[in-house]
Structure 1
Amino acid sequence: MKKTLILAGVLGAFAMSAHAQSSVTLYGSLDAGIVYANNAGGHSLWAQGSGAMSNNYFGLKGAEDLGGGLKAIFTLESGFNLNNGGYKNGDNGFNRQAFVGLQSDQYGALTLGRQYDSMNQYLAPLSEAGLGFGNNLAGHPFDNDNFAQSFSTKNAVKYSSANYAGFQFGGMYGFSNEADGFANSRAWSAGASYNNGPLNVAAGYLQLNNSGNYGGNLNGAASADQNISARLQRSFGVGANYTYGPAQVGFVWSHSQIDGLQSLGSGGMNLAGISGLNLHLDNYEINGAYHLTPALAFVGSYTFTDGTVTGTGTGDQSPKWHTVVLGTDYSLSKRTDVYLAGVYQHASGSLGVQNGAAVANVAAINTLSPSTTNNQVAATIGLRHRF
């Protein structure tokens, strides 16, 4: 009788443990290489690169089974500079993501904390700069649509639906966290995607009030990691890609409406003469990939960015950028690969006003300091490991 009770107790404890299964996973991405640029802030550059292709980060994510298809989930994720081991942009702690929430197999997930917006979640993976390709150098000028994950949103509540026969959707709201300004420094976004075999389509929208370090206020949803500080920033777009055997081709269009600029930069260097101006940008990107073998892939993209600047007092300006990216990637294993990539950007028109005269537009490849001319060439070779 006693043995029977002991056995029943052990089996009951095992059943309770199985019912409340939990897991914690350590994950991350490490990307280092050598970067060359013909003109970065007026000088040629040879440097050890950190995250030239993919962002460097590590994180913890976990889930606890609550039963009935419901889980408690969390993610803590920190970006850092692989060269010196410091936090990304001098920020502290979990500067990419830090959230907790509930996930239902039937209804989706509701999470609270610091998170990436819905446009980045659904539309960005179809871009060369998004997670689908993982090439930060291919980011659109100033990463104006955040496809390269320049920033995440603080104080955010986010909903992501379950997968309904390939269709997914979601939305996010980032609170201002200010007692006297509900709409000040807030953010909100929405997005959707549909995956049906070889075809992927997606759309997204993002709005930021007082983005970046606008007015020196970072208590709300804004992030200091942004290349753009403005009174109002809206980005939206659509995209699609199609896979046929070893080949994939895609198109992405995004529009960014940036009003009341305070600062605009790339690679930690801000452009002059743009304070108070309005910048509207349309990015038209064609991208593709071809797997010559399961381990060897070739990727490329061309992006035409058409801009309009108003509020100059000297007439509207029309800055433009042409960006061409070519690269190859060889997988040494499922987690480790080596890459070689080159980028060429040509700029035209004018952007900004100084001493009453228009300022000539300059090339500014994403993650690099702007050129002092209208052309910029960059190349990188490196090693990437994911765990």
Structure 2
Amino acid sequence: MKRTLVALAALAAAGVASAQSSVTLYGRLDASLVNTTTKLNGVKQYPATKTGIDSSQLSTQFWGMQGTEDLGGGLKAVFKLESNFNIDDGTQDTNGLFAREANVGLTGGFGGIRLGRVYHAYDTFFGAVNHTDNTNINVSTDVARVGLDHYAVRTSNGIRYDSPKFGGVQVAFTYGFGENKTATQSAADQYSLAVWYADGPITAGVAHQRREFQGQPDLKHTVVGGGYDFGMVKLVASYQEARRTGTKDRDWQLGVKVPMNAFTFYVGYADSDSKTGPTKLNADGWALLGTYALSKRTTAYVGYERFDREEIINNARAKRKVDNLAIGVRHTF
């Protein structure tokens, strides 16, 4: 009888322990038939002009593991590992096994803090005001890169803090340590800060990112934006500036989202210019996207995007024009 009671007690303790922690395997698959035409000064470019099966046209695909452990008193230990891959050929992301995310941290009444490879706070807010609901059928990145590099989406060797919400207001901060300091050069650190309000139909905020480079001037990005959900239609807009000594980029975008039962339609437009001394480059583009929810986890979609961008190639002005049509399906698990 005593042995039976001891065994039952051990099983009960194991059940309690397992209830206090969990590990989840999850992911997203996105494959589509894609037709892309790329022209430089009116001449088709190969292999950029192509028709075939591609990955991540609607949403970047990945698989991941995340877990939590209840430490008591509202404190939890958390971890996340996420890995990108290509569904068209099954290859792994060349940037590393867990190049998307690899971090561990704590969450509680104070908010949350994570260490490792983390998303920049800047990217979190920018995605909230993207003109096609943070999908990949958008031209904001292509248009914004008319002069300077796009902002950094993630950082390695990073620490990220997310505050709790206070009346709809939330703050996020990310700092990435360069870890490449030498006797003559400082480490190329980077950081970003985002503050936004999201409550009911309203979203509004601002974010700033600064990246140091060894032997080069710092690169700074600032974005302000917001949106309003009227129910039958949602509008978003943002304005972004990028600065590095001698160069200034400006871009803005506007997006419209219209949900209709299982269908959702998006229209987005983006425009930018870059000025370095007397040289000025321009870019603009637009995107159309329609999705149909086959279930809570499976979505069929058709998307089209087009952009025109001026570039300096071999010290001469050139114009790049890209048209991209994608018909595909996305599944999450």
Residue type of the alignment partner of 2:17: S
Match of 2:286 among 309, 324, 327: 324
Question: Which residue of the partner structure matches residue 174 of structure 1?
Answer: 176
Q: Are 1:288 and 2:256 matched, yes or no?
A: yes
Judged with a 3 Å threshold, the aligned counterparts in structure 2 of structure 1 residues 13 and 70 are, in CA distance, closer, same or farther, namely same
CA distance in 2, matches of 1:280, 1:149: 14
Judged with a 3 Å threshold, the aligned counterparts in structure 2 of structure 1 residues 38 and 5 are, in CA distance, closer, same or farther, namely closer
Residue type of the alignment partner of 2:25: L
Question: Which residue of the partner structure matches residue 384 of structure 1?
Answer: 330
Q: Are 1:112 and 2:115 matched, yes or no?
A: yes
Match of 2:55 among 50, 65, 75: 50
CA distance in 2, matches of 1:4, 1:148: 64
Question: Which residue of the partner structure matches residue 68 of structure 1?
Answer: 73
Question: Which residue of the partner structure matches residue 224 of structure 2?
Answer: 238
- Provide structure 2 residue ranges, at least 5 long, that are not aligned to the other structure: none
What is the SS of the residue equivalent to 1:140? helix
- Provide structure 1 residue ranges, at least 5 long, that are not aligned to the other structure: 216-229, 260-277, 311-315, 364-374
Judged with a 3 Å threshold, the aligned counterparts in structure 2 of structure 1 residues 183 and 54 are, in CA distance, closer, same or farther, namely farther
CA distance in 2, matches of 1:257, 1:342: 30
CA distance in 1, matches of 2:54, 2:229: 31
TM-score by length of 2: 0.87
Judged with a 3 Å threshold, the aligned counterparts in structure 2 of structure 1 residues 147 and 231 are, in CA distance, closer, same or farther, namely closer
Question: Which residue of the partner structure matches residue 204 of structure 2?
Answer: 201
Query: Where in structure 2 are the equivalents of 1:229-268 lying within 5 Å?
Result: 231-259=217-245
Distance apart, 1:285 and its partner CA: 0.4
Where relative contact order (Cα < 8 A, 6+ residues apart) is larger, the structure is: 2
Distance apart, 1:142 and its partner CA: 6.7
Structure 1 residues 340-376: Cα deviation after superposition (integer angstroms, max 9, x where no partner): 111121335xx4363xxx522423xxxxxxxxxxx33
Question: Which residue of the partner structure matches residue 224 of structure 1?
Answer: none
What is the SS of the residue equivalent to 1:39? strand
Question: Which residue of the partner structure matches residue 135 of structure 2?
Answer: 134
Judged with a 3 Å threshold, the aligned counterparts in structure 2 of structure 1 residues 207 and 16 are, in CA distance, closer, same or farther, namely same
* RMSD (Å), alpha carbons: 2.9
Q: Are 1:184 and 2:187 matched, yes or no?
A: yes
CA distance in 2, matches of 1:63, 1:147: 36
CA distance in 1, matches of 2:76, 2:118: 19
2:123–2:153 Cα contact (<8 Å) kept: no
Match of 2:82 among 77, 80, 86: 77
Judged with a 3 Å threshold, the aligned counterparts in structure 2 of structure 1 residues 141 and 252 are, in CA distance, closer, same or farther, namely same
Judged with a 3 Å threshold, the aligned counterparts in structure 2 of structure 1 residues 148 and 327 are, in CA distance, closer, same or farther, namely farther
Residue type of the alignment partner of 2:98: F
Residue type of the alignment partner of 1:286: L
Judged with a 3 Å threshold, the aligned counterparts in structure 2 of structure 1 residues 137 and 48 are, in CA distance, closer, same or farther, namely farther
CA distance in 1, matches of 2:230, 2:9: 56
Question: Which residue of the partner structure matches residue 102 of structure 1?
Answer: 106
Judged with a 3 Å threshold, the aligned counterparts in structure 2 of structure 1 residues 257 and 376 are, in CA distance, closer, same or farther, namely same
Judged with a 3 Å threshold, the aligned counterparts in structure 2 of structure 1 residues 152 and 139 are, in CA distance, closer, same or farther, namely same
Judged with a 3 Å threshold, the aligned counterparts in structure 2 of structure 1 residues 8 and 81 are, in CA distance, closer, same or farther, namely closer
Distance apart, 1:8 and its partner CA: 9.1
Distance apart, 1:48 and its partner CA: 1.6
Question: Which residue of the partner structure matches residue 295 of structure 2?
Answer: 333
